[in-house]
Amino acid sequence: MTQPTETNRALITKAFEGLRHGDPSQFMPLFDEDIEWRVMGSSAWSKHAKGLAAVERDLVGPLFARFAGPYLNIPELILADGDHVVVLAKGDAQTVEGNRYDNDYCFVFRMADGKIVEVREYMDTVLADKALGRGD
């Protein structure tokens, strides 16, 4: 494997080890100022946010406001190839209403200079709408 591949894999692995325990402190600093995050699908939670401020305002903030406690994201598989790292993961959270939100995810990260510059997030969007609400 090439050095960028292993470096990128190590950064994402460390970030997800924190998320496994509800600690985003290794994940959030990886976001590039110009990050683009796409939540794929056609639900209320499907979005395309450009820039760190938009990701925090339109994705991270509203999502974490729906949780009663820590949000865990447990990696099941991490694959890396050059600038790309793919993570299969399982969410573990409870909503403020007491409902379970345990979604399955596939994240495709594109890295540049040790930062996440692009994310494509695939998940069960019907489950997201059902457990988290449609944002109405």
For 65, other C-beta atoms within 10 Å of its C-beta total: 9
Q: Break the chain down into helix, strand, coil percent, rounded to 5.
A: 35, 40, 25
Does residue 2 register a pLDDT over 50?
A: yes
d(CA 132, CA 115): 29
Q: Give the pLDDT of residue 136.
A: 44
Domain tally, the chain: 1
CATH number, domain of 89, equals 3.10.450.50
| Mean predicted confidence (pLDDT) in 111-124 | 97
Full residue range of the structural domain in which residue 98 is found: 3-132
Average pLDDT over residues 36-44: 94
pLDDT at 133: 86
Residue 126, token pair as written in the block? 């019907």
- Report strand pairing: 48-50 vs 31-39: antiparallel
**Mean pLDDT value of segment 24-35:** 95
| Residue 129 identity | D
pLDDT in tens, 44-70: 999 999 999 999 999 999 999 999 999
The rounded distance, in Å, linking the Cα atoms of 95 and 132 is 7
Within a 13 Å sphere around the CA of 108, how many CA atoms are in the beta-carbon half? 7
Greatest pairwise CA separation for the chain in angstroms: 47
- Interval 63-109: pLDDT, tens: 999 999 999 999 999 999 999 999 999 999 999 999 999 999 999 99
Average pLDDT over the chain reads 94
Torsion of CA 5, 105, 57, 51, to 10 degrees: 30
